[in-house]
Amino acid sequence: MKILVAISNVPDTTAKIQFTEGNTQFNTAGVTFIINPYDEWYALVRALELKEANLAEQVTLIHVGLIDSEATIRKGLALGADDAVRIDSAGPDAFSVAEQIANYAKSNTYDLILVGKETINFNGSSVGGLIAGVLDLPFVSLATKLDINSNKATIEHVIDGGSQIVECELPLVISCAKGMAEQRIPNMRGIMAARTKPLTVISATNQTNLTSITSYVLNPGRTTCKMMNEDNLDELVKLLHTEAKVI
């Protein structure tokens, strides 16, 4: 069985968010980029676990991005992925990213395509469903557990007000959430091995931009926190009613 794991290159969780060029671009100056945590902790690590359990032969990373994201891809290889593909495109929107990944997957048969539940920069939760839509494959979202038994996946995933266990024959696309696996830290051997693992760069095919971002604005933070005395909580309740108007 071959697993394709889609990874995104995102600003570190604690990065300062600023915009440039008239608020049309994210300001990358001084920002550390990482593998999108959901892609790494849940999708990639679960894929590696399946390989370690001899349920998969190959774990391939796929990333749509420019050359500056190769350090992030190498980190995924250091964690244990066998090889990686970078599709050379800035990935202007979720659909174009999904379309590139789907086109690659179409000509290189994979049994399982794993993505994280969302990216921490665009929070769209859409690439997994888009890939499945383009390839006309089944899609299970927000998976918290995944097991493989011969040609069948057993998945527990989040539904409204609970969870459900489903079975689906391969191939399929799964978006991964908390519970799938635990975060790992690459070891020195992995980091050394990653340097020589194959990272293939392929050019983007026909690109469709269904959406584009025209501008960004930072959301105003909360400016002042009114401190209340614990012996005068009637005042807090009054303010929640008259000032905040939430009760």
- Classify each residue of 78-94 as buried b or exposed e, where b means 16 or more C-beta atoms within 10 Å of its C-beta: bbbbbebbbbebebbbb
In whole angstroms, give the CA distance from residue 4 to residue 47: 9
How near is the Cβ of 155 to another protein at its closest, in Å?
Answer: 9
How near is the Cβ of 227 to another protein at its closest, in Å?
Answer: 5
How many residues contact another protein, by CB under 8 A? Answer: 78
Stretches 28-36, 64-72, 190-198, 220-228: which one binds another protein (CB under 8 A)? 220-228
In the complex with another protein, which residue's Cβ is closer, 49 or 118?
A: 118
Backbone angles phi, psi at 102, to 5 degrees: -65, -40
What residue type is 121 in one-letter code? N
In the complex with another protein, which residue's Cβ is closer, 148 or 177?
A: 177
- Work out whether 141 is an interface residue with another protein (CB under 8 A): yes
How near is the Cβ of 199 to another protein at its closest, in Å?
Answer: 28
* Binding positions for another protein, 153-212, rule CB under 8 A: 154, 158-169, 172, 177-179, 208-212
In whole angstroms, give the CA distance from residue 23 to residue 18: 8
In the complex with another protein, which residue's Cβ is closer, 35 or 142?
A: 142
Whether residue 171 is preceded by a cis peptide bond, meaning omega within 30 degrees of 0, is: yes
- Work out whether 150 is an interface residue with another protein (CB under 8 A): no
How near is the Cβ of 8 to another protein at its closest, in Å?
Answer: 13
What residue type is 174 in one-letter code? I
In the complex with another protein, which residue's Cβ is closer, 154 or 187?
A: 154
Cα→Cα distances 111→98, 128, 162, Å: 17, 15, 28
* Binding positions for another protein, 24-83, rule CB under 8 A: 38
Answer yes or no: are the C-beta atoms of 240 and 246 closer than 8 Å.
yes
